[in-house]
């Protein structure tokens, strides 16, 4: 696929605006080929409803989403590359990110949508900032996303990890900023 055919969807799952994770992801995005399309969505702004597993515990059909969930579904299906931009929250993805993934379980069961088939072959990426000292504690988050990619038949792009606690801290993590420069190449 040529660069001009690629479309990157950045899904920001931080619970604060202009957080460290978005800052790191924007550094990485600066190095995308100029012809690659890119879209940014803040999951917190979309106020997705809690996912309700109806009607029969993971089996029966689900209604097509409406409103903001439909916007998010359309953005997801339109992208060739999905970048999960989530801080490390309690060793996993943020609440907003997890809720987004929960909605996949419903979209998989919308009759005629063929969600999983349409996800196959896309690439899933992860950008994360953690506040603690040990980057190894981000392994559960990375594992969640890698397994999700496997499950959906997606390619795994990789994980970009940075360190920071207060907003702007990640700008002092020069090693992470260096990795950001080549992350998407
Ligand atoms: C609810 C919550 C849970 C957190 N859990 C962890 C954690 O498990 N490990 C860690 O290293 N940092 C943890 N942190 C710190 C954040 O990862 C850190 O502040 C990060 O910079 C936040 O990214 P953001 O600015 O993009 O929101 C947590 C912060 C919050 C608010």
Q: How many domains does the chain have?
A: 1
Return the C-alpha torsion angle 38, 87, 31, 83, nearest 10.
-40
Residue 12 alpha carbon, nearest atom of ligand 1: 26
- Average pLDDT of span 92-105: 97
Q: Say if 64 falls within a structural domain.
A: no
pLDDT digits (tens, 9 = 90+) for 77-90: 999 999 999 999 99
* Residue 143 Cβ < 6 Å to ligand 1: no
- CB atoms inside a 10 Å sphere around CB 93: 25
Q: Say if 114 falls within a structural domain.
A: no
Tokens of 121: 């072959």
* 47 secondary structure, DSSP code: -
Percent of the chain residues past pLDDT 90, beyond the cut: 85
Q: Say if 61 falls within a structural domain.
A: no
**Residue range(s) defining the domain that contains residue 147:** 3-49+77-104+119-182
Q: Say if 68 falls within a structural domain.
A: no
Q: Which of 19-28, 53-62, 74-83 has the lowest mean pLDDT?
A: 53-62
Tokens of 150: 């496997």
pTM of the model: 0.96
* Ligand 1 pocket test target in 20, 98, 130 with most atoms within 8 Å of CB: 130
Beta strands in the chain (DSSP E): 7-12, 37-42, 81-85, 123-130, 155-163
pLDDT at 129: 98
Q: Say if 65 falls within a structural domain.
A: no
Q: Say if 39 falls within a structural domain.
A: yes
- CB atoms inside a 10 Å sphere around CB 160: 23
Distance 37 CA to ligand 1 centre (A): 29
Q: Say if 110 falls within a structural domain.
A: no
Where residue 98 sits, what CATH number does that domain have?
3.40.50.360
pLDDT digits (tens, 9 = 90+) for 117-144: 999 999 999 999 999 999 999 999 999 9
Residue 47 region by backbone torsions, left for phi larger than 0, else alpha for psi between -120 and 50, else beta: left
pLDDT at 135: 97
């Amino acid at each position: 696929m040529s660069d001009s055919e690629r479309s990157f969807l950045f899904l920001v799952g931080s619970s604060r605006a202009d957080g460290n994770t978005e800052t790191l992801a924007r550094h990485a995005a600066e190095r995308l080929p100029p012809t690659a399309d890119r879209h940014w969505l803040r999951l917190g702004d979309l106020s997705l409803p809690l996912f309700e597993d109806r009607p029969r515990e993971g089996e029966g059909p689900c209604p097509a989403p409406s409103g903001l969930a439909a916007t998010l579904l359309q953005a997801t299906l339109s992208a060739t590359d999905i970048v999960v931009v989530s801080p490390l929250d309690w060793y996993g993805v943020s609440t907003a990110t997890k809720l987004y993934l929960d909605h996949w379980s419903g979209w998989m069961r919308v009759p005629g949508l063929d969600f999983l088939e349409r996800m196959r072959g896309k690439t899933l990426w992860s950008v994360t900032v953690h506040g603690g000292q040990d980057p190894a504690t981000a392994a559960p988050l990375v594992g969640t996303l890698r397994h999700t990619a496997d499950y959906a038949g997606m390619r795994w792009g990789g994980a970009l990890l940075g360190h920071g606690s207060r907003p702007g801290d990640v700008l002092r993590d020069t090693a992470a900023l260096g990795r950001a420069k080549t992350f998407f190449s």
